[in-house]
Amino acid sequence: MAADLTNFDPNSVGLKSNNIFGLPFKEADAKLVLLPVPWEVTISYRDGTSRGPENIFDASMQVDLYDPDVPDGWKKGFYMLPVDKNIKKKSDYLRQCAELIISHLIDGGIVEENEQLREKLEEVNEGGILLFNWVHEMTSTLLRAGKKVGLVGGDHSTPLGFIKALSNIHSDFGVLQIDAHADLRKAYEGFTYSHASIMYNVIHEIPQVSKLVQVGIRDYCDEELELSQSNDRVKTFFDKDIKERLYEGDSWKNICEDMISHLPQKVYISFDIDGLDPKLCPNTGTPVPGGFELEEVFYLFKVLKKSGREIIGFDLNEVSTGQHSADGIDGIVGARTLYKLCNYMVVE
């Protein structure tokens, strides 16, 4: 069922009484449905990302609908589901548990020697399973209904259930990860489903992901480097190496084509906003100097699409306006990033 756009003016102000980007679509008539996941249990530095979906929704009203790369993409219909208050409440509670554990570790304590913290760790890990199952069920239902799906976090642990749902449909696909961090740690800080362990979990739990291509990585540990170098399913383009290629005269076009050449036909995009230069996302959970300009990432998407590969899903995570500061342009950068991802997701 197509939406009636007769009385909708794409040049007018975005109406919050409509949905994301001020678009007048309902779930039933939208080609692409966005699942907001307000979750930030295992964050290890600054909070605020659980409010990412709401911040992006509010800022999306300021995004003009004309996109020169995909001029009429919005006409296919984008719709964001309501934020689940029970998931948000569970995240807030478990975040308090995780903070106690992290504080104990920072002070040199051993969680296994503290009965109360052992119980809280078990509770946090059970919460990670709960979220995985919820995301898997929600996205599987949407996929079965014939919808294209995007996920909006939340911290970067959130998309594992979605990627698993896609693996039930697609027997072979790659993940293009844009990120400052490798996220290849095993159960970081004892949390099985840590935001810092998302790609470790993808590699070890979802064999249908035949290739993980990481770009912009600039903050990682020895353990992650060893996994990246020893596992044929992982190809990492470190920020330092990318910049040196540019400094020495290589073109961004060549570098993008090199990145994409390692991906199979079907591609899932996992976008942690801290992959960008932190001037564009100053309130993200763990900002790292370096990174991309937004237009560089948009060009990477363009080259990906031009290659003939199919984008089967995406997530956008770690967008925050911060707990204590409204400074920065995080929300609007997140909204514009989301809009570009939506458009490339629906273009034929």
pLDDT, tens digit, for every residue of 185-211? 999 899 999 999 999 999 999 999 999
CATH code: domain 20-346 is 3.40.800.10
Taking residues 25-49, what's their average pLDDT? 94
Task: Specify the pTM.
Answer: 0.96
Q: If you average pLDDT over residues 58-82, what whole number do you get?
A: 96
Check residue 184 and give its pLDDT: 98
Contact assessment for residue 328 and residue 60, using Cβ atoms and an 8 Å cutoff: no
Looking at residue 348, its pLDDT comes to: 81
Instruction: Say how far apart CA 96 and CA 277 lie, in whole Å.
Output: 30
Q: How confident is the model at residue 126 (pLDDT cuts 50, 70, 90)?
A: very high
Lowest mean pLDDT across 155-159, 164-168, 227-231, 320-324: 320-324
Give every CB contact of residue 165 below 8 A, 6+ residues apart in sequence: 135, 136, 139, 140, 143
Mean pLDDT along residues 324-331:
73
Q: How far apart are CA 182 and CA 217, in angstroms?
A: 6
- pLDDT of 45 reads 84
- Select from 253, 302, 269 the least CA-distant residue to 245: 253
Which pLDDT band holds residue 321 (cuts at 50, 70, 90)?
Answer: confident
Mean pLDDT on 161-175: 98
Domain boundaries, the chain: 20-346
Angle at 290 between CA 107 and CA 190, to 5 degrees: 30
What is the CA 301 to chain-centroid distance, rounded?
A: 15
Cα 205–chain centre separation: 18
**Terminal CA-CA length for the chain:** 19
Scan for tokens 């530095």, then name that residue. 45
Residue 161 confidence (pLDDT): 98
With cut-offs at 50, 70 and 90, classify the pLDDT of residue 76.
very high
| 160-167 vs 198-205: helix crossing angle, rounded to 10 | 20
Q: Other CB atoms closer than 10 Å to residue 85's CB: what's the count?
A: 9
* Whether residue 22 has pLDDT greater than 60: yes
pLDDT average, residue stretch 115-136: 95
